[in-house]
């Protein structure tokens, strides 16, 4: 069975990241023909246009991993009512040089978890603005503003019963969205 490759981009670098935990739990809800792999963004330099002509190995790696993927999956925290600088820095790198963006045309899903009940909603809106410019077709509904509260996971770190139906429906919609844009 041919695999559909999804590049997973988690916007938080901390070890116990809520979004990294969500990414790992959500992965188990995907069908067998989807292959998810995490893209590393923690070792990128700060973007400087002067380096466009001689990108670092980390930037070249990032762009080749994005280009090799058939779909994108963004897990974003909300920092100061927007996406983390860390995530935007990765997006900026892979969008450059002008006319050579790695993001172009790859279908995406946007999701995020936080301890607050708005569940990164405002960060996701900024991310959608950015992805629209980058010509990344992004799943509209269902939206997924995940409140990281008790019961979200079971004792094994899998999605708990209370959220399973919704999150499975989200994954199913994302899977269809990616297939539509293959």
Q: How far is CA 14 from CA 10, 11, 20, 30, 79, in A?
A: 10, 10, 9, 25, 13
The least distance separating a second copy from the CB of residue 12, rounded to whole angstroms, comes to 7
Examine residue 104 and tell whether it contacts a second copy (CB under 8 A).
no
Distance CA 73, CA 55 (A): 24
Report the nearest approach of a second copy to the CB of residue 51 (Å): 9
Name the residue among 47, 41, 43, 45 with its Cα closest to residue 96.
47
Among 6, 34, 71, 82, binds a second copy (CB under 8 A): 82
User: What is the closest distance, in whole angstroms, from the C-beta atom of residue 48 to a second copy in the complex?
Assistant: 4
42-81 residues in contact with a second copy (CB under 8 A) are 42, 44, 46-50, 79-81
Please tell me the distance from the alpha carbon of residue 60 to that of residue 116, in angstroms, as a whole number.
36
Which CB, 115 or 182, lies closer to a second copy? 115
**Using CA atoms, how far apart are residues 122 and 137, in angstroms rounded to an integer?**
19
87 interacts with a second copy by CB under 8 A: yes
Minimum CB separation from a second copy for residue 133, in Å?
A: 4
Is the bond preceding residue 157 a cis peptide, omega within 30 degrees? no
Residue 40 contacts a second copy per CB under 8 A: no
**CB-wise, 14 or 32, nearer to a second copy?**
14
C-beta of residue 29 within 8 angstroms of C-beta of residue 159: yes
**Residues between 122 and 151 with contacts to a second copy, criterion CB under 8 A:** 122, 126, 129-130, 132-134
Q: Which residues bind a second copy (CB under 8 A)?
A: 12-15, 41-42, 44, 46-50, 79-92, 95, 122, 126, 129-130, 132-134
């Amino acid at each position: 069975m041919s695999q559909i490759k999804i590049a997973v981009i988690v916007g938080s670098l901390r070890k116990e990241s809520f979004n990294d935990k969500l990414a790992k739990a959500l992965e188990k809800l995907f069908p067998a023909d989807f292959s998810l792999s995490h893209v590393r963004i923690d070792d990128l330099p700060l973007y400087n246009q002067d380096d466009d002509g001689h990108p670092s190995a980390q930037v070249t790696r990032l762009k080749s991993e994005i280009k090799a993927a058939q779909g994108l999956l963004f897990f974003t925290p909300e920092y100061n009512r927007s996406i983390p600088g860390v995530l935007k820095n990765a997006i900026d790198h892979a969008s450059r040089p002008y006319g050579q963006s790695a993001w172009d045309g790859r279908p995406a899903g946007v999701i995020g978890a936080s301890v607050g009940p708005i569940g990164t909603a405002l960060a996701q809106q900024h991310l959608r603005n950015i992805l629209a410019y980058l010509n990344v077709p992004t799943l509209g509904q269902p939206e997924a503003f995940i409140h990281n509260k008790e019961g979200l996971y079971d004792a094994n770190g899998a999605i708990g019963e209370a959220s399973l139906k919704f999150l499975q429906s989200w994954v199913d919609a994302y899977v269809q969205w990616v297939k539509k844009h293959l």
